[in-house]
């Protein structure tokens, strides 16, 4: 490959990256403008923060599934870790730090750290496995995380944090509060999440993921995905690079979880189950494996549109339609005839463009 | 005595997991795909049998046969419409399609038959008794449990015989080893895979009926949890291996029951999954699975 | 690469469009004959030319998903009441719009915001506890009056003056059950089986266990299971039997409860079973052998087979509206009572016409404050009640009143299953 060609490819990649930042910033400005003009309904406004969360979830999962090529079925588990640790931090610091954005920031940092630690704990053993075995183990870890949080009680009083498996066993003093109450989840959370914080997290996620993909590590990860044995034989460490992608992804999911948890006054562990992991996986697959922009758009659209069209009275058939479309999309995108057709269209367009340039 | 009771419960639960896992493992071994919709085929089988017996007053045996026929057709149709076009596609696309099929079956069932629970009739009774009482009433063993364990062993033996002695079975093994080479040897790969789905789905119908006889609530989501459990069992025993599915299923049933009895009733899911992880770390391809070295 | 990605994008959009299809629990999807056609959704004033005032009630509950049965019941139950109220010769009319929350917190908040866009006046719901806690925090901040038919956790009303419940709180129900067992000498050794993955079940169980200790009942074992998808209860039942429990308290939903009864029967264990209001519905399971439930006791505020005129009329209207032959459960009855409680309170507000003429943004705040006074009564600075709140007669109780903390006061009712039907104790 000539140096010239490599340079062109890289610049195209970074251009792509800049377009992604542009899209996010533009979306932010448009939304702010609409809010200031009173053009945005309450229901749309309430979706802004969760959309940011799911975008971050989708982009970070794409790093594992699309870029690193490992199927993970437990991504919601890391979101859960982030959500609950973020909530605990926020409630604990409630009286110490008055400034909500700072509290949110600290919560997200802790959420990311806990998510990342979870990523290491899951990743080290899991990444020794391959393919479908890896998928089932991530599923298992996701379920274990959910199970444990569902029996965990956490409270805080002047002595610090208490952990137990029942409310009575927390032994809180009079002034103490129970933050997480097992199956009842976390209740009485003071909301701190804002759309601005969400957008900043999305931008940060893009910055991390895109730089990682375009870096030396990213190329190593791609090489491992495309041909593990060949990559290993030129001295690329499988564990190191796969773990790097996995832990980064888990940490970002943790931060998104903290943002999500602090956007509602109550959060249940059962929300972060296998179905949520699958939902995020669907965002990634429909947006295109390895395609960051696709993940952003798919997550945003698929999350907003159902809410926007609540007035259509087909609720009964909703999931059925979803299922059929899911199957049809998979069949269509993998159908050689249809793919050939679009490829041809594209080629023709390129030819025309080339002709004009000349 | 209590321990004996727990062992019997675990054995019968494990046998149900094993029968479902056998279906999973057959399909995985040959088509190399995780058929997440398998659990929902079980649910359909149970509904068919339920309506045949309660609404049309057919004898239970006819109900079971009918469920097997319907599920077999359903399995072949699903394979032909949703999975066959994706033979060359990446495995993730097939996985998402299987999840789509699973949602499709669950929601069709909800629309057709309603979201409410149905209570599955227990037709495994002798003289109105549901089981035999042993040791002066200290231990009750239901006929359902006995039939389930027997059915499980019979199915396992029949499948082993089928895959090792019959022509079709040998063709399946060949396809499972190497699709390309099998095709060169004149084996029709597509029809072999369809056949596998047919057998797997018929097994699912049997599993559905047995499962609902033992645990008689029936709802559109009845199949999804046992589906994941059986998948775990199949991986546990080594996915693709027929004795492995049996071993994995029964071990899972026993571990689950004994964990509930002696360790924790609230975290047994976590314990079962943790055990799975440990097994896979020690034996990355399951208890009886074969390690296939990758070729460059 | 790109054609595929482009295609994926297009298809994703198409899919999203169709998904929307789903989204919606839709508005009042059942045509109601008597909903007044005055003023809908366009922000116009709810006072019509002839002086009738239409109050917009926004309902939230699961219409799809695993808890859909309960949401649909609360929707239809409320709709029956709204149709009756609107047929009365009264200046006050109700308009009900019901939104789907699929039983999920975040969707509940979205549904609430959709209702806000509709200029809702009063929030009815949500049906299940999780979303209700999340929505209640929003209505408290925004100042909307909220009445839930069935979200029974104390967290729902905790610290929020604007949220009221039609059902007993979970600890309260557990306490009532323990008192009933002790008062009637049903047993001295009791066992508890509950779903510790579920707030409702855990809440009642904890209330029961605490009160059982007070009343000298010996809780021989506490057995748990993690989710309503659990099917095997042999281990839990064996523990109850080995502990010598004469009574097994099961604050769980009727689906798993039917399995417990069946498995207890198979193992030849026959204690007194006692359930909470979630057990209501067990007799209606298609194919369920009701002889297994013979002697079962449960706390439920509503008996659909009661023969008083109001219940009979309600059951008939409910069946007509739902198009199903099944009897309404207690969720439906709670929903029905909610509408009458709101109506009763509205009747008592002296300056309702004045409030109704306000701008939508101020209207709900003024209405919220007025309704809080109607429900909880008035208090002086020392916390003594100076004027009582409303007292409502409904299907789930007579003379129901509310405390300032949002809890309902009504008499508990215990039924026992005899010959496949409820018999009120």
Q: Does A152 touch chain C (CB under 8 A)?
A: no
Which of B9, B217, B265 faces C258 most closely, judged by CB atoms? B217
Q: Given this model, what pLDDT does residue C69 score?
A: 82
Angstroms from A78 CA to nearest CA on chain B: 16
Q: Determine whether the interchain pair C235/B140 forms a contact, defined as Cβ–Cβ distance below 8 Å.
A: no
In this predicted structure, the answer to whether residue A279 has a pLDDT above a threshold of 80 is: yes
In this structure, the strands spanning C414-418 and C421-424 are antiparallel
Q: Tell me, what's the pLDDT at A275?
A: 84
Residues in chain B: 296
Which pLDDT belongs to residue B45? 94
Domain boundaries, chain B: 2-282
Enter the ipTM: 0.84
In chain C the domains, ranked by start, together with CATH numbers, are 31-168+311-409 (3.40.50.2300), 170-300 (3.40.50.2300)
pLDDT band at B198 (very low <50, low <70, confident <90, very high): very high
- For chain A, the chains sharing at least 3 beta-carbon pairs closer than 8 angstroms are B, C
What pLDDT is stored for residue A353 in this prediction? Answer: 62
Q: Which residue has the higher pLDDT, C126 or C2?
A: C126
- The predicted model scores a pTM of 0.86
C345 close to A (CB below 8 A): no
pLDDT at A112 over 60: yes
pLDDT of C373 above 80: yes
Q: Which residue of B has its CA nearest to C255?
A: B117
> Tokens for A322?
């979803």
Residues B99-154 pLDDT 10s: 899 989 988 988 888 777 888 887 777 766 777 777 666 677 888 888 999 999 99
How do residues B217-271 score in pLDDT, each as one tens digit?
Answer: 888 888 888 888 888 888 888 888 888 999 999 999 999 999 888 887 778 888 8
CB contact under 8 A, B235 and A147: no
Q: Which residues of B touch C (CB under 8 A)?
A: 2, 5-6, 9, 13, 50, 54, 115-122, 130-131, 133, 137, 140, 142, 214-219, 221, 224-225, 256-257, 260-261, 265-269
| C225 touches B: beta carbon within 8 Å | yes
Q: Is C418 helix (H, G, I), strand (E, B) or coil?
A: strand
pLDDT number for residue A108: 96
Candidate from C225, C234, C286 with C-beta closest to B9: C234
pLDDT of the residue at B58 = 87
| Percentage above 70 pLDDT, chain C | 89
Of residues A13 and B177, the one with the higher pLDDT is B177
Mean pLDDT, residues A300-320: 71
SS3 labels along chain A: CCHHHHHHHHHHHHHHHHHHHHHHHHHHHHHHHHHHCCCCCHHHHHHHHHHHHHHHHHHHHHHHHHHCCCCCCCHHHHHHHHHHHHHHHHHHHCCCCCCHHHHHHHHHHHHHHHHHHHHHHHHHHHCCCCHHHHHHHHHHHHHHHHHHHHCCEEEEECCEEEEECCCHHHCCCCCCEEEEEHHHCECCCCCCCCHHHHHHHHHHHHHHHHHHHHCHHHHHHHHHHHCHHHHHHCCCCHHHHHHHHHHHHHHHHHHHHHHHHCCCCCECHHHCCHHHHHHHHHHHHHHCCCCHHHHHHHHHHHHHHHHHCCCCCCHHHHHHHHHHHHHHHHHHHCCHHHHHHHHHHHHHHHHHHHHHHC
Other C-beta atoms within 10 Å of C416: how many?
A: 17
Per-residue CA distances from C241 to B42, B144, C238 (Å): 33, 22, 5
| Interchain pair C68, B142: CB under 8 A | no
More confident residue, B171 or C65: B171
Q: What is the pLDDT of residues A59-85, one digit of tens each?
A: 999 999 988 888 898 999 999 999 999
Helix axes B242-262, B2-31, angle to 10 degrees: 140
Q: Which residues pair with C189 in a beta bridge?
A: C218
Helix-strand-coil split of chain C, %, nearest 5: 45, 20, 35
CB interface of C with A, residues 372-411, below 8 Å: none
* pLDDT (average), residues C208-235: 89
Rounded to an integer, the average pLDDT of C350-369 is 89
* Sign of the CA dihedral with C78 first, then C79, C84, and C86 last: positive
What are B41's two structure tokens? 């085929």
- Mean residue pLDDT across chain C: 84
Determine whether the interchain pair B86/A324 forms a contact, defined as Cβ–Cβ distance below 8 Å.
no
Beta bridge partners of C96: C57
Determine the pLDDT at residue C16.
43
More confident of the two residues A343 and B158 = B158
Q: What is the mean pLDDT of residues C79-88?
A: 94
User: Once rounded to an integer, what is the mean pLDDT over residues C386-409?
Assistant: 89
Q: Give Cα A312 distance to the centre of its chain.
A: 29
Using the predicted structure, report yes or no on whether residue C26 has a pLDDT greater than 60. Answer: no
**Residue B292: predicted pLDDT:** 62
Q: How many CA atoms lie within 13 A of C333 on its CB side?
A: 26
Q: What is the pLDDT of residue B265?
A: 78
pLDDT of residue C260: 92
| A322 contacts B232? CB cut-off 8 A | no
The structure tokens listed for A346 are 């594209």
Confidence of residue A254 (pLDDT cuts 50, 70, 90): very high
pLDDT tier for residue C42 given thresholds of 50, 70 and 90: very low
Q: What is the mean pLDDT of residues A88-103?
A: 88
Has residue A94 got a pLDDT over 90? no
Nearest to B101 among A71, A327, A334 (CB): A327
Q: How confident is the model at residue A8 (pLDDT cuts 50, 70, 90)?
A: low
**Residue found under tokens 């979880």:** A257
What's the rounded Cα separation, in Å, for the pair C421 and C425? 13
B122 vs chain A: nearest CA distance in angstroms?
A: 31
Query: Residue A138 pLDDT > 80, yes or no?
Result: yes
Closest Cα of chain C to B97: distance in Å?
14
- Mutation target to probe the A interface, by most A beta carbons within 10 A, among B35, B83, B86, B92 is B92
Which chain B residues are within 8 Å of A131, Cβ to Cβ?
A: 91
User: Which of C21, C278, C281, C287 is the best mutation test for B, with the most CBs of B within 10 A?
Assistant: C287
Q: What is the model's pLDDT at position C21? A: 37
Q: Which residue of B has its CA nearest to C239?
A: B261
Going C120 to C124 to C127 to C129, the CA torsion angle's sign is positive
Number of cross-chain residue pairs from A and B with Cβ atoms under 8 Å apart: 119
CATH classification number, B2-282, choose in 1.10.3470, 2.60.120, 3.30.70, 2.40.128: 1.10.3470
Contacts of A309 in chain C (CB under 8 A): 17, 20-21, 23-24
Q: Name the token pair of C217.
A: 């009942």
- The lowest-confidence range among A285-299, A321-335, B243-257 is A321-335
Residues from chain A that touch B270, judged by Cβ atoms under 8 A, are 143-144, 147-148
Residues 178-197 of C with CB under 8 A from A: 195-197
Sort out which chain B residues have CB atoms less than 8 A from A71's CB and list them: 91-92, 95
Place of tokens 């032909």: B80
**pLDDT higher than 50, residue A298:** yes
Whether B140 and C267 lie within 8 Å, measured CB to CB: yes
Q: For residues C312 and C319, is the Cβ–Cβ distance under 8 A?
A: no
Chain B residues with CB-CB distance to A under 8 A? 28, 34, 82, 85-86, 88-97, 99-104, 106-108, 111, 228, 231-232, 235, 239, 266-267, 269-270, 273-274, 276-277, 280-281, 284-286, 294, 296
Query: Which has the minimum average pLDDT: A212-221, A271-280, C5-14?
Result: C5-14
Using a CB–CB cutoff of 8 Å, tell me whether C38 touches chain B.
no
According to DSSP, residue C392 is labeled: B
Q: How many CB pairs under 8 A join A and C?
A: 211
Chain A partners of B273 at a C-beta cutoff of 8 Å? Answer: 140-141, 143-144
Per the CB < 8 Å rule, is C259 touching B216?
yes
Backbone angles phi, psi at C94, to 5 degrees: -115, 145
CB A317 within 8 A of CB C29: no
Rg (CA), chain A: 22
Contact C351, C131 (CB under 8 A): no
Instruction: Tell me how many degrees the CA angle C172-C284-C164 measures, rounded to the nearest 5.
Output: 30
- Check residue A205 and give its pLDDT: 95
State residue A150's pLDDT score.
87
Residue B205 to residue C183: CA distance in whole angstroms:
50
Task: Tell me the C-alpha distance between A312 and A195, whole Å.
Answer: 28
Average pLDDT over residues A27-42: 89
Judged by CB atoms within 8 Å, which residues 4-33 of C form the interface with A? 4-9, 11-27, 29
Closest CA to A87 of A76, A74, A103: A103
Mean pLDDT of C154-175: 91
Can you say whether residue C48 is alpha, beta or left, with left for phi > 0 and alpha for psi between -120 and 50 degrees? Answer: beta
């Amino acid at each position: 490959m000539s140096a010239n060609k490599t340079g062109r490819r890289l610049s195209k990649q970074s251009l792509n990256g800049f377009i992604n930042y542009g899209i996010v910033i533009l979306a932010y400005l448009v939304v702010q403008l609409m809010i200031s003009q009173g053009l945005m309904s309450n229901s749309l406004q309430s979706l802004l923060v969760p959309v940011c969360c799911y975008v971050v979830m989708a982009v970070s999962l794409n790093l594992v599934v699309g870029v690193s090529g490992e199927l993970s079925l437990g991504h919601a588990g890391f979101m859960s870790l982030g959500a609950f640790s973020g909530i605990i931090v926020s409630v604990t610091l409630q009286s110490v730090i008055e400034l909500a954005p700072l509290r949110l920031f600290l919560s997200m940092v802790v959420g990311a750290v806990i998510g990342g630690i979870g990523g290491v704990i899951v990743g080290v053993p899991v990444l020794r496995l391959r393919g479908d075995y890896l998928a089932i183990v991530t599923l298992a870890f996701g379920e274990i995380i959910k199970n444990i949080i569902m029996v965990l009680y956490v409270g805080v009083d002047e002595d610090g944090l208490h952990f137990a498996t029942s409310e009575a066993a927390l032994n809180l003093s009079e002034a103490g509060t129970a933050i997480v109450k097992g199956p009842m989840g976390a209740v009485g959370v003071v909301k701190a999440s804002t759309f601005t914080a969400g957008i900043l997290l999305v931008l940060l996620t893009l910055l991390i993921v895109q730089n990682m993909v375009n870096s030396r590590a990213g190329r190593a990860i791609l090489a491992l995905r495309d041909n593990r044995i060949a990559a290993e034989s030129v001295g690329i460490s499988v564990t190191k690079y796969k773990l790097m992608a996995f832990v980064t992804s888990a940490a970002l999911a943790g931060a998104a979880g903290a943002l999500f948890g602090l956007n509602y006054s109550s959060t249940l562990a059962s929300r972060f189950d296998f179905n949520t992991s699958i939902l995020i996986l669907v965002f990634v697959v429909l947006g295109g494996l390895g395609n960051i922009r696709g993940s952003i758009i798919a997550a945003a659209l698929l999350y907003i549109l159902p809410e926007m069209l609540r007035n259509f009275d087909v609720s009964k058939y909703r999931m059925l339609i979803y299922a059929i479309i899911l199957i049809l999309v998979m069949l269509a995108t993998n159908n050689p005839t249809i793919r050939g057709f679009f490829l041809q269209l594209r080629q023709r367009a390129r030819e025309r463009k080339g002709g004009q340039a000349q | 005595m209590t321990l004996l009771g727990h062992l019997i419960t675990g054995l019968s639960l494990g046998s149900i997991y094993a029968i479902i896992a056998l279906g999973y493992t057959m399909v995985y071994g040959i088509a190399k795909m995780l058929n997440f919709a398998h659990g929902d085929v079980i649910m359909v089988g149970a509904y068919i049998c339920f309506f045949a017996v309660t609404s049309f007053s057919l004898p239970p045996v006819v109900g079971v046969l009918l469920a097997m026929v319907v599920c077999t057709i359903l399995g072949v149709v699903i394979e032909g419409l949703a999975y066959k076009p994706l033979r060359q596609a990446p495995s993730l696309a097939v996985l998402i399609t299987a999840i789509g099929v699973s949602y499709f079956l669950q929601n069709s069932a909800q629309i057709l038959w309603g979201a409410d629970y149905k209570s599955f009739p227990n037709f495994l009774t002798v003289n109105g008794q549901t089981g035999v009482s042993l040791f002066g009433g200290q231990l009750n063993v239901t006929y359902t449990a006995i039939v389930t364990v027997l059915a499980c062993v019979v199915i396992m033996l029949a499948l082993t015989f089928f895959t090792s002695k019959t022509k079709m079975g040998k063709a399946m093994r060949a396809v499972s080893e190497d699709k390309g080479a099998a095709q060169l040897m004149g084996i029709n790969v597509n029809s072999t895979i369809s056949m596998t789905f047919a057998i797997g789905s018929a097994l699912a119908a049997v599993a559905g009926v047995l499962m609902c006889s033992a645990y008689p609530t029936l709802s559109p989501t009845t199949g999804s949890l046992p589906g994941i459990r059986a998948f775990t069992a199949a991986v546990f025993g080594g996915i693709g291996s027929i004795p492995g599915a049996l071993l994995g299923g029964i071990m899972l049933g026993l571990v689950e029951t004994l964990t509930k009895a002696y360790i924790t009733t609230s975290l047994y899911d976590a314990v079962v999954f943790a055990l799975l992880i440990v097994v896979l770390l020690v034996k990355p391809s399951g208890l009886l699975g074969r390690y296939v070295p990758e070729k460059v | 690469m790109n054609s595929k990605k482009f295609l994926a994008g297009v298809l994703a959009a198409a899919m999203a469009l169709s998904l929307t299809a789903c989204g919606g629990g839709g508005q009042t999807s059942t045509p109601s004959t008597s909903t007044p056609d005055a003023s809908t959704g366009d922000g116009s004033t709810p006072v019509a030319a002839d002086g009738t005032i239409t109050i917009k009630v926004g309902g939230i509950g699961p219409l799809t998903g695993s808890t859909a049965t309960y949401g649909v019941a609360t929707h239809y139950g409320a709709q029956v009441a709204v149709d009756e109220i609107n047929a009365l010769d009264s200046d006050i009319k109700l308009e009900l719009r019901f939104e789907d929350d699929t039983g999920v917190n975040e969707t509940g908040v979205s549904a609430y915001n959709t209702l806000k866009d509709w200029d809702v006046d009063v929030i009815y719901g949500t049906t299940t506890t999780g979303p209700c806690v999340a929505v209640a925090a929003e209505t408290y901040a925004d100042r909307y009056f909220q009445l839930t038919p069935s979200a029974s956790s104390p967290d729902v009303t905790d610290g929020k003056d604007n949220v009221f419940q039609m059902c007993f709180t979970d600890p309260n129900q557990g306490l009532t059950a323990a008192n009933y067992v002790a008062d009637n000498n049903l047993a001295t050794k009791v066992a508890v089986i509950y779903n510790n993955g579920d707030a409702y079940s855990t809440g009642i169980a904890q209330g029961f266990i605490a009160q059982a200790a007070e009343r000298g009942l010996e809780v021989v074992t506490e057995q748990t299971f993690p989710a309503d998808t659990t099917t095997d209860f042999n281990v839990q039942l064996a523990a109850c039997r080995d502990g010598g429990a004469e009574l097994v308290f099961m604050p769980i939903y009727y689906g798993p409860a039917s399995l417990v009864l069946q498995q207890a029967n198979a193992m030849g264990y026959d204690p007194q079973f006692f359930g909470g209001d979630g057990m209501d519905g067990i007799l209606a399971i298609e194919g369920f052998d009701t002889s297994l439930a013979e002697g079962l006791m449960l706390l439920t505020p509503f008996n659909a087979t009661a023969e008083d005129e109001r219940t009979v009329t309600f059951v008939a209207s409910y069946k007509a509206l739902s198009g199903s032959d099944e009897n309404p459960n207690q969720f439906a009855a709670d929903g029905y009572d909610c509408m009458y409680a709101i109506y009763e309170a509205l009747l008592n507000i002296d300056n309702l016409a004045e409030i109704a003429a306000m701008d939508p943004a101020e209207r709900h705040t003024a209405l919220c404050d007025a309704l809080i006074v109607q429900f909880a009564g008035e208090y002086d600075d020392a916390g003594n009640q100076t004027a009582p709140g409303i007292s409502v007669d409904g299907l789930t109780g007579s003379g129901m009143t509310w405390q300032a903390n949002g809890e309902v006061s009504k008499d508990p009712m215990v039924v026992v299953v005899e010959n496949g039907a409820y018999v009120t104790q």
